[in-house]
Amino acid sequence: MRAPVGRPGGAFAAIWKVVTRIPRGRVATYGQIARMAGIPGAARTVGWALGALPDDRTGGREGVPWHRVINATGRVSARGRAGGECRRQIARLGREGIRPGEDGAIDLERYGWDGRAASSRPGAPADRSRRRSPAARPNCSSHSRA
């Protein structure tokens, strides 16, 4: 049974909790966050949840790192009319050492988060022996907060 969307303790809170675990220098996709929050197929709900973050949860050290969530093609998803949020997101990722390739996409093999604890070297190529296939669903119950 799904939790009510937008209510404290509901789907939005579950999404925010997963996003807070993405380590600095790593990114995750909307679909990945939805699966890890227990609502597979709800990538758009992840976007809505991140857009609904209260101002006091969007910045600072204790905030939800919304900027680490990108789309499945490795790109920042457009939102708003002026594109200022996209530039802000790209700048924040850049400060963490995440650089898009020549095609403008972020390399998910290099910067993608697999749901485990933080890597000792953010931005380093992932250890292929520990990577899950894209279809695998992580066991969120065994993860510690990063």
**Domain count for the chain:** 1
Cα 107 to Cα 121: distance, rounded to the nearest angstrom: 16
Q: Which domain holds residue 93?
A: 11-117
- Is 137 a member of any domain? no
Give pTM, 2 decimals: 0.71
Q: Which CATH number belongs to the domain containing residue 83 in this structure?
A: 1.10.10.10
pLDDT > 70 in the chain, percent = 64
Tens digits of per-residue pLDDT, 64-96?
A: 999 999 999 999 987 766 667 788 899 999 999
Sign of CA pseudo-dihedral 76, 144, 121, 58: positive
Sign of CA pseudo-dihedral 95, 91, 121, 146: positive
Cα 68 to Cα 20: distance, rounded to the nearest angstrom: 10
DSSP character at residue 116: S
Tens digits of per-residue pLDDT, 49-67?
A: 998 887 665 554 458 999 9
pLDDT at 65: 94
Query: Amino acid identity, residue 26?
Result: R
- Is 85 a member of any domain? yes
Q: Tell me the chain's radius of gyration from C-alpha atoms.
A: 14
| Residue linked to tokens 């857009």 | 51
- Is 127 a member of any domain? no
- Is 124 a member of any domain? no
- Is 32 a member of any domain? yes
